[in-house]
Amino acid sequence: MTDHYTGAFYVEYYLAPGESAHILFEFLMNTFAKRGPQDLLHGIPKILIWDLGTANQSHMIKHLLDRLGVKHIPHKQGNSRGKGQVECTHNIVECKFEGRLAFIKIDSLEELNTKAHEWMRAYNRNKRHSRHGQSRYALWQTIKEDQLIIAPSRDICQTVLQQTKPKPCKVRGNLMINFAVKGYGSNQYSVEQISDIRVGDSVPVYVNPYRAPNIDVIWHDQEGNEAIYECEPMAVDAAGFPLNAPVIGEAFKATRDTETDQQRKAMDKAAYGVETVQEVDKRRKKRQPAYEGIDPFADIETEAPFHYMPRRGMEHPIEAPRFEEKPISTIKALRQIKETLSLEGEAMVTLNQQFRERYPDGIKQEELQAYMEDLRNDITAKANAG
């Protein structure tokens, strides 16, 4: 990466089979970040000229640059001279740095980048540029405060990269929304400054990459014009109440009327023929009708009577459902017989064997009642005969 004005550059090596959005993100983060007192080149550029590589044209990368306010311009395919400064710097790196690698042993990618950064800083610091006659870092130090845009934190950029679509947030009754920013937690934000917003609206929200946890609320007015409103998180006390909230018993503060609220109140006052909302409330408490003198059922009462001709139909062929009774298990049936007829000892042992042989899969309740009745009669007959 090179700076168009000074010619200062940043170089880094990656071990990869080809381009990827992940590696490009890593490179951009390292390029934009403040890396140390000896490495001057940093900050967010206003314009980025690059090629049409697949990683460069990734939707996520382009979205990140858009949110950072970077205008990205790809040069035409085959026109490498469109970023000729980069191509010349490639040549410098190959000749002035990579030419030295034949004389040392590099054991890792980290060691290679350490050497590359040491050489890069020395070259930017000491070598005079043929165009402006100064070292690259010397001219870069003349940058003005309003030209140096400090890069947001890596976490915020990671959030922006992944948030390719705005998150919809619902406007609550107090004209507030909730939004969570990575590293800052969930906060409340007031959208009261948006004039025509309504309670219940869903507003698209992005995190503001430069002033997190501030957020950007995207709003389209009635004419379809898009506007972006920056909102700060509401400061709260230890109990979670907004610091600007009124104290109970000491002050009152009503939520600002939205455009919908204003129109509704105007309609209410017109309906009751009064000048204030308080008078509307009084008439409603007395159950006085709105638009007095208007009959809301006049259209029905004046309608001429008429009759419909009855139509023939067919009976539905559905049959009443039949439910199969689930049998009582053998064990439960024997327990019920024992308790009902008070059977004990040998009589119960004999009955147990006979019942299991006759009803191995259980017995229905109706059959069980008949079985116990027959059994009771047998027991009674035997007792009388004895």
Tell which wins on pLDDT, 143 or 84.
143
Tell which wins on pLDDT, 352 or 44.
44
Computed over every residue of the chain, the mean pLDDT equals 86
What pTM did the predictor assign? Answer: 0.57
pLDDT at residue 57 greater than cutoff 90 = no
Tell which wins on pLDDT, 211 or 299.
211
pLDDT at residue 386 greater than cutoff 70 = no
> How far is Cα 158 from Cα 25, in angstroms, rounded to an integer?
9
pLDDT at residue 79 greater than cutoff 60 = no
Tokens 């007192």 belong to 37
Mean pLDDT of 218-246: 79
State the pLDDT at residue 7.
Answer: 96
pLDDT at residue 76 greater than cutoff 90 = no
State the pLDDT at residue 343.
Answer: 81
State the pLDDT at residue 138.
Answer: 96
What's the pLDDT tens digit per position in 179-190?
Answer: 998 888 899 999
> How far is Cα 43 from Cα 28, in angstroms, rounded to an integer?
10
State the pLDDT at residue 92.
Answer: 95
What's the pLDDT tens digit per position in 245-303?
Answer: 666 666 555 566 666 777 888 888 888 888 888 888 888 888 888 888 788 778 777 76
Contacts of 29 (CB under 8 A, 6+ apart): 151, 154, 157
Mean pLDDT of 15-41: 91
The residue among 168, 171, 212 whose CA lies nearest residue 191 is: 171
State the pLDDT at residue 128.
Answer: 96
The residue among 148, 146, 196 whose CA lies nearest residue 171 is: 196
pLDDT confidence band for 54 (50 / 70 / 90): low
- Could you tell me the domains of the chain? 21-140 (3.30.420.10), 165-256 (no CATH), 257-301 (no CATH), 330-380 (no CATH)
Burial of 6 (0-12, 13-18, 19+ CB in 10 A): buried
Least confident of 25-29, 88-92, 185-189, 335-339: 335-339
State the pLDDT at residue 96.
Answer: 95
In angstroms, how far is CA 237 from the centroid of its own chain?
27
pLDDT at residue 48 greater than cutoff 90 = yes
pLDDT confidence band for 143 (50 / 70 / 90): very high
User: Are residues 230 and 216 in contact, defined by beta-carbon separation less than 8 angstroms?
Assistant: yes
Tell which wins on pLDDT, 374 or 386.
374
